[in-house]
Structure 1
């Protein structure tokens, strides 16, 4: 594939830490290694982190001055981001934008604006959402309006694909019979991944004590209520079992109350928020990893734990059954009694020596790698760039299909966006933009690093003499 210029757009990126942030960074780094130009556009995460920053390996990040309202997400505003995105996308000669996460307002806005400049669009959905609560209804309606005009959609699991197709109404009318709806062909499944070398198992000395590790954001959808209910009972059933719980969130107070109530301070350790670089050190303390999520599109934490050699116990929800072979994981219903059954089964497997951490790590290495993810994503990009681009009238017709109420609102937004774009073309003509003609030269950077290392050696030699 010929090198192209790609803009990753999302509210969720470093210095914030999470699965979406890590996915964007690792995918960008591997696309850069394949010869593509990649930039990231996100909002300012700290008062002093505004403007342009560089991350290795030669990843340029634009932090535009928008403040988040909750959980690193910005307020949907549709139009105020257009001046920023137009300038960045034009001056960087972007061919394709790749937006990430359903809750990322700036990602949705990037898809809305990009068609005005002839830039192709791809969207990756990382989460599962319901259909009956207020937050899901609003998020789904916003996503439907966006995905009506996106060129391709990527999901991280087959379960996530089904969820996204239904939430985003990714159907098209049959050309022969307009009353028949067909699934859009431009919906793909590319799983998440990890760097296996960063999660090498550590050989623990023989011990009768079995430690269960729980690492997650302490929020309702992560099933913390199930952990609160089952942990005391497991401790009572197995005197040789301890817990290490990592993470922070609104449910922390309930874990603290449970530990106090049952006098388990010496058996349930709460280590607080864990930085990504310290995840392995926490996982290495355990033999079993417990996941009690109520909804999960992929579950990268499960994959990291299995790669670190832990036997996994998880609720059978979302895309979790797609991650690991059945002999590396025990499933449970998201119910108290069934979780206790699955944990008991896992304890027996570990005690009997039926789980080999080193072999589990070697198997994970063959299942997942970022280079494969980047290659598959490249093929999606190539398909999108070769496909026919939608005209404005086609976009309007697609948007009107949202319904008599939402369709009219979104169509007005689309038309106002076009008028605002024409105004910007007059007010800030393209000829006045400062275009980027030079990018990070890896060969020059390598030479500078070698020169710096040589100078450091000479300085060290002269000081010693």
Structure 2
């Protein structure tokens, strides 16, 4: 008889979660949902977003703790080091946590949680979603922090691409065998070609029929908006039937507006503003070619979403992008104006031969969140079976291996974390903390509530209310979520 699969009780921690939208937020939500479906217990811990504070239950009974933490830069919360150690202890005991999973290198909440979880004796897994450099002051500081925290407190590391793995191994000085590669995925049921009667027509002759280019990203330097601003006038000049839709918002929006005005492209290039994730597919299928001009990417989920929606995809060949799609499904270019322009022209030539339905079926078989969850559970099993010495002296020695100064600093933080948690245990013993029962979502009337799009919302004092789920979105009490 096959051995029964190990069931884990996981606390996901990151500053980045719904109602904020982005790749990390979507990854945590989708992974958590699939882990729950596979029999694991998952709760999410993040900082408060506006009036979204306290405890919320999302679709499928996913429990989220929105903590009163102050975000100070791009939704990353202000460092408190020891400020929420006691609260994390209560959450982990209440939820019977066996493992903590932190996400994103510049999430201070996740990095602090890794330190405190190790002090609590929990196994720790960390997923890095981004690429960072080695030369500027910010990257040097963050790399030192990662070297200390990942080396001393984390039992398993996951990266979303092989390029991301190489980057993390170098930054944190980790042995390559300790880092697993598990790519992101896409819910292909939400990203399908538009087969409605009013769908955009696919041209047979791109020289005389209109072709629509689609750009959907945050309008920031890292996403290559400066590069895009150099290419758009040349594309419009060479191809008089091309139109461009730009979705997203950010500080580089003014640059695009200036380029459009300077070259008289108001009738050819449209700035659509921010596009909510639930409308991303509807926005993409208004065009034929998806353009990604990023200067750095660990794994670009938008490329997979666009391919699943049937678009021809063109992207700069940076970071982990070459690993995302096979060569016949993506046009890769050099991260330069000349390279991107040449790539867009090659993509336009592919448009008459594109079959959106066939491409969607191929992507559907390539990417599946259930497979990502199964592979992540294998990492959990490996970590749970590990027998590393996590006593305080051993942790302090591992901190010192990261460097004398940073090792002494983080060693002091770890020492204070252990002392604070011991004091908290004396003040509030484990037996005094109520344990949350594992929700039984197989009960018919509760399952019916979820199927009809209803979720229970509890505030910090335990008062409950019922809210309606908007179509295609997780049920929640958080505004538009």
Q: 1:232 to 1:108 in 2, by over 3 A?
A: same
Instruction: Answer 1 or 2: higher relative contact order, Cα 8 Å, separation at least 6.
Output: 2
Matched residue, 1:196? 188
How do residues 33-432 of structure 1 correspond to structure 2 at under 5 angstroms? 33-46=37-50, 48-148=51-151, 149-170=153-174, 183-203=175-195, 204-207=200-203, 208-350=209-351, 353-392=352-391, 393-432=393-432
Q: Distance in 2 between matches of 1:205 and 1:447?
A: 41
For residue 438 of structure 1, report the CA deviation from its aligned partner: 4.6
Note if contact 2:94-2:433 (Cα within 8 Å) is conserved in structure 1: yes
What's the secondary structure of 1:337's corresponding residue? helix
**Correspondent of 1:25 among 9, 24, 29:** 29
For residue 354 of structure 1, report the CA deviation from its aligned partner: 2.4
Matched residue, 1:457? none
In the TM superposition, what whole-angstrom CA distance separates every residue of 1:327-351 from its partner, at most 9, and x where no partner exists?
111111111111111111111121x
Q: 1:255 to 1:15 in 2, by over 3 A?
A: same
Q: Distance in 2 between matches of 1:326 and 1:451?
A: 40
- RMSD (CA atoms): 1.6
For residue 2 of structure 1, report the CA deviation from its aligned partner: 2.5
| Dislocated runs of 4+, deviation >3 Å | 444-453
Q: 1:238 to 1:387 in 2, by over 3 A?
A: same
Q: Distance in 2 between matches of 1:3 and 1:451?
A: 25
Note if contact 1:215-1:247 (Cα within 8 Å) is conserved in structure 2: yes
For residue 444 of structure 1, report the CA deviation from its aligned partner: 4.3
For residue 448 of structure 1, report the CA deviation from its aligned partner: 5.2
Deviates more, 1:68-77 or 1:14-23: 68-77
The normalised TM-score by structure 1 is 0.92
What's the secondary structure of 1:197's corresponding residue? coil
Task: Tell me how many residue pairs correspond in the alignment.
Answer: 438
The normalised TM-score by structure 2 is 0.89
Note if contact 1:45-1:67 (Cα within 8 Å) is conserved in structure 2: no
Q: Distance in 2 between matches of 1:319 and 1:131?
A: 17
